[in-house]
Structure 1
């Protein structure tokens, strides 16, 4: 697995200029609040304007603004799991996942995703009745149902108590070994990234920390 990323963007007067290469299946962007972690993910997902963006997964260019390749968010094959999951409250868990499948370039095995993430008992439930950890697993399943080449996770452990955090980490670690999808996860907590076995890259004030380059 290889990941090449380069982003130059500005949002609300804040500038970000990031470039890195990694051969790890999981890449972790570590930095304090305000370092630009979420802005980086938004830029890769096509949710904010950029001056320049380049995203290559295993030799396949998903985004390359220099070459005129800048597809809309739904066509980038980039899955995004937000901090607050952002599940559709008017849909059941099963229908949330089915919604993600609408954007897949080929039919995905939803049954395998449900089994992998252990959410079978949740399928008929309304998303408003899920715990924080359950909601994140469902959000991941919805993103993976779209068949992404890259999965973006924004602070996946934010707002979880220690018990829920300890439950979610093994799910994510198991996920990384069983899907053919690169994962880019951002967190302010180095311990969480280390627990996921991520190739950790430091981000400070919109720049990769010189002593944390991969």
Structure 2
């Protein structure tokens, strides 16, 4: 378990945040400058808080009231940054094993071979970092951190420097670390697709404070226009089970009590249930059941809230049949023309091409076009 409660005062930034996490992946989420990396640096011991306390699995790392400050090298915390920061003159094998020498022999509970197998880097062991792709370098960096047998793994925007293809390559490996090593991870990101796929808990930071914390669906779905200041970042989640793959067209159909959800790519049925991130700008509201159209996903629900202001937009919250909520942006004009109000039954339409594959676990192959 992680217990964090710290204040840090700088001339131009004041940080004061507290949260707890029980294991799995805890995502620190928020815009640039919100304090995500500050929290990581405090946990790692790279900065001292003005006041506060940090403990990991009962081991007190910082307690300013008691005068406790464990130095970074003694905290047994693994670090993975945007840049892999590998030693260019060492082989991959030597980079991997470098950190183990700083871990007491009795505490070395993670062996080289399982890490190499999980990360799929056995064929890279004799190569130098300069010959690796960005995704390969990042896998090696993750392996090096893991081989220190840390109590906690800190990942600070580990995919930010990679292109979309490399991100899709790395995400399954992070899932395997989470699941096969039961390694608690604090994961910093401002990419909602990564958070949706990996995290059990989200701590949302804003200007150095905790704005919200809880499950991704509760934290990341806005309830008002004020919360959805950047409408393209407003997102909600629906969860379905794989009911069929349409291999010829590269899509998977998920079952949900409100209807079927078509997503891009072929998803392994063993990955069920599948949590799908749906951006509010990718949801269209219809009265009744639409006729022939390219959109495949049609979910039945009822409007439970509508938030408007003096601007052009409205934010509707739809309670889907069978549970879960979906948020949708529309213009106020459209809502008025359709006569939509709280309590009305609607069909929520979601285009598959607007669903990012990075939010989908168990993806075996990318598909072609889907409406």
Separation (CA, whole Å) in 2 of partners of 1:77 and 1:38: 19
Deviations 1:25-78 (A, max 9, x none): 110000111112112111111112321343323333333333333111111111
Largest Rg, 1 or 2: 2
- Number of the residue aligned with 1:159: 161
- 1:174-198 alpha-carbon deviations (Å, 9 max, x no partner): 1101114310000011221111133
How far apart, CA to CA, are the structure 1 residues paired with 2:181 and 2:92? 21
Question: Where does structure 1 lack aligned partners over 5 or more consecutive residues?
Answer: none
Distance in 2 (CA, whole Å) between partners of 1:12 and 1:117 is 42
Residue 213 (str. 1) matches residue 235 (str. 2): no
Q: 1:53 to 1:128 in 2, by over 3 A?
A: farther
Q: 1:185-204, aligned counterparts within 5 Å?
A: 185-204=187-206
Structure 2: any 5+ residue segments left out of the alignment? Answer: 215-371
1:127-206 alignment to 2 at 5 Å?
127-206=129-208
Aligned residue for 1:85, secondary structure, equals coil
CA RMSD of aligned residues (A): 1.6
More contact order relative to length (CA 8 Å, sep ≥ 6): 1
Normalising by structure 2, what TM-score?
0.54
Distance 1:204 1:118 in 2: 37
TM-score normalised per structure 1: 0.91
Q: 1:104-161, CA deviations, whole angstroms, 9 ceiling, x for partnerless residues?
A: 1323411221112111111111112221211111111111111110100011110211
Contact 1:57–1:182 (CA<8 Å) still a contact in 2?
A: no
2:75 corresponds to: 76
Q: Where does 1:13-28 land on structure 2 (aligned, <5 Å)?
A: 13-28=12-27
**Given that residues 30 and 188 in structure 1 are in contact (C-alpha distance below 8 angstroms), is that contact kept between their aligned partners in structure 2?**
yes
Q: Across the two proteins, how many residue pairs are aligned to each other?
A: 211
Bigger share in helix: 1
- What CA deviation, in whole Å up to 9, does each residue of 1:8-31 have, x standing for no partner? 223563221111012241100001
Counterpart of 1:38? 37
Secondary structure at 2:167 match in 1:
helix
User: Taking structure 1 as reference, are residues 89 and 77 closer, same or farther at Cα in structure 2, changes over 3 Å only?
Assistant: same
Partner residue in 2 for 1:55: 54
- Tell me the distance in 1 between the aligned counterparts of 2:53 and 2:124: 37
d(CA) in 2 for partners of 1:11, 1:33: 17
SS at match of 2:17: strand
Residues 89-104 of structure 1: matches in 2 within 5 Å? 89-104=88-103
How far does the alpha carbon of each residue in 1:62-100 deviate from its partner, in whole angstroms, 9 at most, with x for none? 333333331111111111111111111121111111111
Contact 2:177/2:183, CA 8 A, preserved across alignment: no
Q: Distance in 1 between matches of 2:180 and 2:45?
A: 27
CA contact (8 A) 2:34 2:208 kept: yes
1:178, 1:127 → 2: CA distance? 26
**Which runs of 4 or more aligned residues in structure 1 lie more than 4 Å from their structure 2 counterparts after TM superposition?**
none
Q: In the alignment, is the contact (CA less than 8 A) between 1:154 and 1:185 conserved in 2?
A: yes
